[in-house]
């Protein structure tokens, strides 16, 4: 089973942000500029990547919550709660309905330009949330004819 590309990109972004903080604390401006370039590339790659799982959708919802302004803190909290449930593997119909309604409200101008950014992230998160789950069941090997006769 492959790892969700959104999860991988989010982890790389987190590690680069930590490295950027260390470079800034050490006042290594050249290193900080290189790291900022890498962050920019990863962010643009993340903007084009669709999640393949609920975990990837949870990462995008976290980014959407962070993109909202302070005036949208109530919505950001709800996004974080939905992201936590998705990260735990819990997909609820109520979350999916709320995400779709929130996407429409944000795309309609709620929270301004930041809301438009969050709406795009939520749109892509919905793709990951609504993907079907494949469950593999263990199958017993067929019994030999000798075992069937004695059973």
User: Over the stretch 14-72, which tens digit does the pLDDT of each residue have?
Assistant: 999 999 999 999 888 999 999 999 999 999 999 999 999 999 999 999 999 999 999 99
Q: Is 127 exposed, middle or buried (0-12, 13-18, 19+ CB in 10 A)?
A: middle
For residue 142, is it within any domain?
Answer: no
Contact status, residue 55 vs residue 88, Cβ threshold 8 Å: no
User: CB count, 10 Å around CB of 17?
Assistant: 12
Residues 45, 57 within the same domain: no
pLDDT class of 136 with cuts at 50, 70, 90: low
- Phi and psi of 136, rounded to 5°? -95, 130
Residues 78, 38 within the same domain: no
Residues 18, 56 within the same domain: no
Which residues form the domain of 87? Answer: 51-132
Contact status, residue 87 vs residue 55, Cβ threshold 8 Å: yes
pLDDT class of 148 with cuts at 50, 70, 90: low
Supply the pLDDT for residue 150. Answer: 63
Residues 9, 70 within the same domain: no
The string of pLDDT tens digits covering residues 62-106 is 999 999 999 999 999 999 999 999 999 899 999 999 999 999 999
Residues 70, 114 within the same domain: yes
CA–CA distance, 142 with 146 (Å, rounded to integer)? 11
For residue 141, is it within any domain?
Answer: no
Q: What would the mean pLDDT of 104-123 be, rounded to a whole number?
A: 96
Q: What is the pTM of this model?
A: 0.82
């Amino acid at each position: 089973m492959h790892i969700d590309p959104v999860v991988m990109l989010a982890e790389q972004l987190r590690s680069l942000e930590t490295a950027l903080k260390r470079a800034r604390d050490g006042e290594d401006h050249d290193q900080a500029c290189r790291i900022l370039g890498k962050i920019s590339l990863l962010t643009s790659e993340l903007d084009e990547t669709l999640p393949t799982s609920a975990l990837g959708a949870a990462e995008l919802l976290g980014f959407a919550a962070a993109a909202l302004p302070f005036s949208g803190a109530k919505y950001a909290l709800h996004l974080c709660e939905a992201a936590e449930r998705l990260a735990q593997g819990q997909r609820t119909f109520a979350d999916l309905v709320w995400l779709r309604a929130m996407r429409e409200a944000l795309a309609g101008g709620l929270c301004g330009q930041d809301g438009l950014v969050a709406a795009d992230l939520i749109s892509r998160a919905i793709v990951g949330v609504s993907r079907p789950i494949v469950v593999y069941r263990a199958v017993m090997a067929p019994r030999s004819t000798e075992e069937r006769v004695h059973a």
